[in-house]
């Protein structure tokens, strides 16, 4: 137990470890739940009298604030401690959600609250991702991360449909309090996660080394981290591309839910029941195939789609997504030492957010000129080709590592 603490892991009993996984899964449920419910905000603001452009700005400012603050929060959490960090994130999210609910169509008040809520959302995600990166040893990260991130899928089957049901049936006032209720739950759950006080991340000892960009530079000088983070970015490109599935299917007169529902269900089942396999195989060997599956199925779904094909492609996409996301998070944590985990997590989540910002903008721009099908083919094709190239680099790196090991030089 002491050895686990000294290495940065947490020495907990099996029962405590299960509680830790459960609380982290619930934390991700809350973190993704209130952002998922916010996808419907354009409809809400239109119903209460705001124009489409104003509604779009209120949605966009949240994501801009969330992405802009991610590179710095990894260093902040190491200084405040996880419990205080989660409590601050929860209280800020509750206050902002309450202001948004009460502000109604008052644009500038809602704008300020949405920006601050973006910061709170970023704090939740960076805090959860950093804690789980340091709370589990490398040998157990795959299974633990898979089970934990299953919590991030469940809101799309529960909170989001419930919020949509309220909004579409005219219960506008009740809808806007759904994100608030989830934020209240987050404020209770996240600071109560077992083991928050047992983690010991080495702090910088000088003002120069306290610069968060210095830690990021160290991360980027590690070859394994560069490959892992590039793979995660390509994975996020494929994931973000799926957001345009509804436009593509509508072009063919089909329902996007055929793809999206089968994807979410299979992704959840994979994370729950295949979690243990993520620790049985070298994670770098699985990274490229998961991106190939997600990008490849998106690409194939654009050619002569039918209802049966969309369901089949959604099932395959769910397998890649169910395995790929927790696997990449674990792979990134595996590639850096304990003291650089916060910076590695910040870079990871910044690139995820960047992918989800740039790709929809690009696809929307391109779709305005050539229709909704070509953009999906372009972005999924880029992710697929990039991953094939990346797979070659992974194999070259590990072949060289084995060669060094055989000659007695050894590699990190």
Q: Which range has the top average pLDDT, 84-93, 136-145, 396-405?
A: 84-93
Contact 249, 258 (CB under 8 A): yes
In angstroms, rounded to a whole number, what is the distance separating the alpha carbons of residues 20 and 82?
14
User: Helix 178-189 crosses helix 159-168 at what angle (to 10 degrees)?
Assistant: 160
CA 366: distance to chain centroid?
25
Q: Which range has the top average pLDDT, 24-28, 41-45, 373-377?
A: 24-28
Rounded alpha-carbon distances, angstroms, from residue 168 to 44, 156, 172, 246, 391: 9, 17, 8, 18, 45
Contact 271, 21 (CB under 8 A): no
pLDDT, average across residues 334-346: 89
Residue 402 pLDDT class (50, 70, 90 cuts): low
pLDDT at 281 over 90: no
User: Helix 257-273 crosses helix 307-334 at what angle (to 10 degrees)?
Assistant: 40
Residue 6 pLDDT class (50, 70, 90 cuts): very low
Chain segment 292-332, per-residue pLDDT in tens = 999 999 999 999 888 888 889 989 999 999 999 999 999 99
Backbone region of residue 81 per phi and psi (left: phi > 0; alpha: psi in -120 to 50; beta: other values): left
Mean model confidence pLDDT for the chain: 84
pTM for this entry? 0.83
Chain segment 102-115, per-residue pLDDT in tens = 998 888 999 999 99
Angle at 160 between CA 242 and CA 300, to 5 degrees: 15
In angstroms, rounded to a whole number, what is the distance separating the alpha carbons of residues 90 and 84?
10
> In 3D, which of 7, 224, 228 has the Cα closest to residue 136?
7
User: Helix 373-407 crosses helix 283-301 at what angle (to 10 degrees)?
Assistant: 160
| % residues pLDDT > 90 (the chain) | 33
Q: Which range has the top average pLDDT, 29-43, 54-68, 331-345, 393-407?
A: 331-345
In angstroms, rounded to a whole number, what is the distance separating the alpha carbons of residues 187 and 128?
13
Residue 16 pLDDT class (50, 70, 90 cuts): confident
Contact 347, 299 (CB under 8 A): no
pLDDT, average across residues 109-127: 93
3-state secondary structure of 199: coil
The confidence score (pLDDT) of residue 407 equals 52
pLDDT at 257 over 70: yes
| % residues pLDDT > 70 (the chain) | 90
Chain segment 67-76, per-residue pLDDT in tens = 988 988 888 8
Number of Cβ within 10 Å of residue 301's Cβ equals: 27
pLDDT, average across residues 281-285: 82
The confidence score (pLDDT) of residue 235 equals 93
In angstroms, rounded to a whole number, what is the distance separating the alpha carbons of residues 51 and 73?
34
Residue 215 pLDDT class (50, 70, 90 cuts): confident
The confidence score (pLDDT) of residue 185 equals 95
pLDDT, average across residues 327-347: 90
* 354-382 per-residue burial string, b: 16 or more CB within 10 A, e: under 16: bbbbebbebbeebbeeeebbebbbbbbbb
The confidence score (pLDDT) of residue 244 equals 78
User: What letter would DSSP give residue 278?
Assistant: G
Number of Cβ within 10 Å of residue 407's Cβ equals: 8
Pick the residue with more confidence: 1 or 210?
A: 210
> In 3D, which of 100, 205, 195 has the Cα closest to residue 144?
195
In angstroms, rounded to a whole number, what is the distance separating the alpha carbons of residues 150 and 25?
7
Separation of first and last alpha carbons in the chain: 26
Residue 411 pLDDT class (50, 70, 90 cuts): very low
pLDDT at 12 over 70: no
Pick the residue with more confidence: 261 or 374?
A: 374
The residue length of the chain stands at 412
Contact 70, 350 (CB under 8 A): yes
Chain segment 159-213, per-residue pLDDT in tens = 888 888 888 788 888 888 889 999 999 999 999 998 888 776 665 544 445 565 6
Contact 338, 134 (CB under 8 A): yes
pLDDT, average across residues 148-153: 90
Structure tokens at 63: 């994501």
CA quadruple 41, 46, 48, 53: dihedral positive or negative? positive
Residue 403 pLDDT class (50, 70, 90 cuts): low
Q: Which domains does the chain have, with CATH numbers?
A: 9-198 (1.20.1250.20), 209-412 (1.20.1250.20)
């Amino acid at each position: 137990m002491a050895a686990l603490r000294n290495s940065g892991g947490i020495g907990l009993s099996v029962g405590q470890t299960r509680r830790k996984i459960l609380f982290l899964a619930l934390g991700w449920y809350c973190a993704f739940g209130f952002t998922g419910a916010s996808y419907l905000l354009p409809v809400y603001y239109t119903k209460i009298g705001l124009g489409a452009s104003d509604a779009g700005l209120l949605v966009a400012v949240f994501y801009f604030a969330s992405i802009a603050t991610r590179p710095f929060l990894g260093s902040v959490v190491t200084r405040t401690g996880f419990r205080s960090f989660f409590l601050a994130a929860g209280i800020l999210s509750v206050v902002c959600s309450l202001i948004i609910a009460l502000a109604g169509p008052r644009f500038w008040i809602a704008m300020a609250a949405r920006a601050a809520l973006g910061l709170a959302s970023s704090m939740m995600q960076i805090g959860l991702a950093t804690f789980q990166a340091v709370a589990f040893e490398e040998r157990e990260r795959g299974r633990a991360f898979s089970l934990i991130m299953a919590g991030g899928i469940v809101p799309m089957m529960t909170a989001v449909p419930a919020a949509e049901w309220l909004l579409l049936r005219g219960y506008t006032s009740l809808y806007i309090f759904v994100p608030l209720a989830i934020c209240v739950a987050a404020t209770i759950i996240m600071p109560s996660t077992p083991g928050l006080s047992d983690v010991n991340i080495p702090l910088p000892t000088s003002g120069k080394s306290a610069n968060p960009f210095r830690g990021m530079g160290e991360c980027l000088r590690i070859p394994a981290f560069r490959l892992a983070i590039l793979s995660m970015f390509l994975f996020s490109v494929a994931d973000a591309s799926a957001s345009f599935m509804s436009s593509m299917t509508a072009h063919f007169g089909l329902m996007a839910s055929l793809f999206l529902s089968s994807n979410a269900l299979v992704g959840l089942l994979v994370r729950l029941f295949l979690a243990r396999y993520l620790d049985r195989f070298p994670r770098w060997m699985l990274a490229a195939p998961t991106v190939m599956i997600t990008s490849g199925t998106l690409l194939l779904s654009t050619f002569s789609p039918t209802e049966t094909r969309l369901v089949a492609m959604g099932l395959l996409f769910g397998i890649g997504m169910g395995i790929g996301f927790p696997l990449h998070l674990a792979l990134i944590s595996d590639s850096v030492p304990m003291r650089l985990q916060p910076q590695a997590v910040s870079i990871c989540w910044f690139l995820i957010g960047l992918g989800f910002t740039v790709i929809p903008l690009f696809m929307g721009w391109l779709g305005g000129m050539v229709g909704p099908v070509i953009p999906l083919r372009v972005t999924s094709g880029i992710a697929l080709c990039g991953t094939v190239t990346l797979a070659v680099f992974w194999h070259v790196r590990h072949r060289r590592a084995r060669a060094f090991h055989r000659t007695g030089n050894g590699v990190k």
